[in-house]
Amino acid sequence: MSNLKSKVAIVTGAASGIGLACARRYAAEGAIVVGIDRNLSADWSSVESSAPHSRFHQLDVTDGAAQQAAIDATAREFGRIDILLTAAGVGDGGPVGMLDEATWDRVIDINLKGTFLSVKAVLETMTTQRSGSIITIASVEGLNGTEGGSAYNASKGGVVLLSKNIAMDYGRMGIRCNAICPGFIDTPLLHEVMDAMPEFKADVVRQTKVGRFGRPEEIAGAAYFLASDDASYVTGHALVVDGGYTAGHSHGIVQLMGLV
């Protein structure tokens, strides 16, 4: 695979989890990485050690003006923006009848509107240079519903279709856009949601065909591929990285047959 030497990458949600893992991978492959997150990152030094010119901006992705200012500053400083990866997100929800309006608004604003604002902020630079790779972090829950996941599922389903629309609208300008749909990845967000529901947590592992949660670095591998020249003919795609979770239902039959 080609590396990302001297490419300029914006990563939202870069303080932890999938976003931080992707920032680290891009830096290791030679990119200049600009992180965006509403929280400060105690681990951002690991990115800077690989990419000394990297930057970090503490801001909320729902603040369009702040994002635009940070991204415009990046374009002025480095002369271009080659990659945008949108990993900022929250997990919350519940059955519609039990979900308050404020929770709905918060999840949609961060997960879907925040993605929209991030993409909007890079498009002027990318269209001018006639190139760019936009990678959104959606979810398998944006492809198939999950009980009680109304707001989260809706937000991530929106990210998938938004990504396809961006690919259609900007492909002839040299801009690719793809969504990554992770399964259940071992991140602070997963533990925040699942640790209070041990039976659900155990069932998710059982339904994941490789028998474990994913690692953030495994999503970063897919994000590297989509950012690289090896993916030059890949756009408008929702890439599932889920350990087989969505391959089908498991009912224990192969265990009864002695296969595992």
pTM: 0.94
Residue with tokens 């001018």: 128
Q: DSSP code of 195? A: T
Spatial CA neighbour of 181 closest among 146, 230, 148, 147: 146
Cα 106 from Cα 172, distance rounded (Å)? 34
Which two structure tokens, joined as six digits, stand for 58?
């503490």
Domain ranges of the chain: 8-256
Query: What does the pLDDT profile of the chain (260 residues) look like in tens digits?
Result: 458 999 999 999 999 999 999 999 999 999 999 999 999 887 899 999 888 899 999 999 999 999 999 999 999 999 999 999 999 999 888 899 999 999 999 999 999 999 999 999 999 999 999 999 999 999 999 999 888 889 999 999 999 999 999 999 999 999 999 999 999 999 887 788 778 888 888 888 899 999 999 999 999 999 999 999 999 999 999 999 999 999 988 877 877 788 87
Mind telling me the catalytic residues? 152
Q: How far apart are the first and last CA of the chain?
A: 35
Superfamily of domain 8-256: NAD(P)-binding Rossmann-like Domain (3.40.50.720)
Mark residue 23 as left, alpha or beta (left: phi above 0; alpha: psi -120 to 50; beta: remaining): alpha
For residues 85-100, one letter each, b for 16 or more C-beta atoms within 10 angstroms of the residue's C-beta and e for the rest, the string is bbbbbbbbbbeeeebe
